[in-house]
Structure 1
């Protein structure tokens, strides 16, 4: 899966002030990513506020994204949830044209056992015409995909090709890297740990801050791939504070405010139950944007 090497970005879904999808801003955002050197895009992951979109809106975003990208860069679609039957249905009906893989978050809220997580992904793998990227993010899902379950899936299903890891556990990262099939990719799910994860052998990052600073994130991943960790540390340190500000009041509220200040999107509107960042965070973001210029 050469398409999944290097820097990917989990695109935000821009909204107008009335809450409707702002396709003009989405087009601007996509162009910024491609011009900045991103290696691939993820449409409608967690950062895209997918849980608040209707099924028709999701289809429209996927279609628009394919048309606007026009083959310039690989695309991954985010399709995940806590009803295995529903996700299998969505994947079976998904129009795969223009997409190279599906990113599927582990089931949330239900708190399944490891066997339940395995069976969930088994059903998805058997239904999908595209390769599957696992997504382990315990801070959001309330459950953890163990290294053993990840490796079991990687070894038993040829179309489960990667995992996006946001567990924060370097013991887990190391175990996956040590025991995974050669062709299976470990991908960082947290911007601040991209450098150390790639030093362990991870393939790259699916980034949040890359929405606003794609060129910097692409450079960071590129330096790591080349083994130039001195230059990678410089970019890593430049991004630390602005990345932290992205998450201080939740994702994607922070990065949307950054994108608005940079003129990439017109509004930092987020759909409830999310709310925009407050004035203190706004001021801190504005100061850091100036520092990064």
Structure 2
């Protein structure tokens, strides 16, 4: 599996009764792909998967599987246990699984490597490791990520550091062969692309999708003069979209644009404040 370009981790839209709006989800998926997104992510953290029941998760997966199969694009699916991974075998359009570094328990680097070795052995599809240390509490050095990259069945990492630090530079300056380092801290997209990231998994790309795609394409093509100003504008947009817990502001903006029926999120999240939504709308390029 080759991973590059902008991949959108889709929200789960809800209708006025609180039910999942599957038709709206399908239309959003087509919109993202028509705007140039290279692929989609189902049931990532932006989708509020913990707030969905089993039937809803299955419905989301079926909806996005159908879209990606029809359009011939990659679909990653959030899956964090061996059982969840094995269940993906019945979905031939699924090209990979997005697997979070174990949160809260902080097992150490050796434990993380052993964990992903076990998951990769159980999975019918390649893994993309989701490394977001400010949420999981587990930092991984570039050396540890290289050990993960060497595991059979691991295709890349959704890399979301809080800053472009020495480990990020180390990993992007000399990435392991066949291992995609995908940018995932939305406000740091430009510097990560400038360092060599082949693409990104970006919740912000729900909004101004085509501009995020242009940014990634321009960095890969070396068109830095027009890329930098666009990167600055999109970083401001991303900061505004993450002013409250994700995906509350993104849903607020999509609703304001008439693209989803409500801005509703499920507990423990709360809807974004109108001021936050207005601030994000003012940042649209």
Shared fold (TM-score greater than 0.5)? Answer: yes
1:79-126 Cα shifts (integer Å, max 9, x gaps): 12xxxxxx0111112223101111111111222221221111111111
Whole-Å Cα distance in 1 between the matches of residues 232 and 25 of structure 2?
28
CA contact (8 A) 2:188 2:235 kept: no
CA contact (8 A) 1:135 1:164 kept: yes
CA change 1:66–1:226 in 2 (3 A) is same
Whole-Å Cα distance in 2 between the matches of residues 181 and 68 of structure 1?
31
CA contact (8 A) 1:7 1:40 kept: yes
Give, in angstroms, the shift of residue 241 of structure 1.
2.3
Where do 4+ consecutive residues of structure 1 move more than 4 Å?
none
Structure 2 segments unaligned to the other structure (5+ residues): none
Q: Tell me the secondary structure at the aligned position of residue 107 of structure 1.
A: coil
Greater CA drift, 49-58 or 158-167? 49-58
Greater CA drift, 88-97 or 271-280? 88-97
Structure 1 segments unaligned to the other structure (5+ residues): 81-86
Equivalence for 2:77? 77
Give, in angstroms, the shift of residue 28 of structure 1.
1.8
Whole-Å Cα distance in 2 between the matches of residues 17 and 136 of structure 1?
34
- Which of 245, 249, 255 is matched with 2:244 structurally? 249
Whole-Å Cα distance in 2 between the matches of residues 175 and 287 of structure 1?
36
Q: Does 1:271 align with 2:271?
A: no
Q: CA RMSD, aligned part only?
A: 1.5
Whole-Å Cα distance in 2 between the matches of residues 287 and 194 of structure 1?
20
CA contact (8 A) 1:194 1:204 kept: no
Whole-Å Cα distance in 1 between the matches of residues 43 and 225 of structure 2?
34
Q: Tell me the secondary structure at the aligned position of residue 172 of structure 2.
A: helix
Equivalence for 1:142? 137
Q: Does 1:15 align with 2:10?
A: no
1:127-158 Cα shifts (integer Å, max 9, x gaps): 11111111110122122232222111112x23
- Which of 272, 283, 292 is matched with 2:278 structurally? 283
Q: Tell me the secondary structure at the aligned position of residue 162 of structure 1.
A: strand
CA contact (8 A) 1:154 1:180 kept: no
Aligned residue runs from structure 1 range 112-131, under 5 A: 112-131=107-126
Whole-Å Cα distance in 1 between the matches of residues 98 and 249 of structure 2?
23
Q: Tell me the secondary structure at the aligned position of residue 71 of structure 1.
A: helix
CA contact (8 A) 1:28 1:265 kept: no
Give, in angstroms, the shift of residue 48 of structure 1.
0.9
Aligned residue runs from structure 1 range 39-78, under 5 A: 39-72=38-71, 73-78=73-78
Q: Does 1:160 align with 2:133?
A: no
Whole-Å Cα distance in 1 between the matches of residues 232 and 187 of structure 2?
9
Equivalence for 1:238? 233
Q: Tell me the secondary structure at the aligned position of residue 129 of structure 2.
A: strand
Whole-Å Cα distance in 2 between the matches of residues 173 and 244 of structure 1?
20
Q: Tell me the secondary structure at the aligned position of residue 263 of structure 1.
A: coil
TM-score, normalised to structure 1's length? 0.91
Q: Tell me the secondary structure at the aligned position of residue 70 of structure 2.
A: coil
Whole-Å Cα distance in 2 between the matches of residues 9 and 284 of structure 1?
22
Equivalence for 2:106? 111
Equivalence for 1:84? none
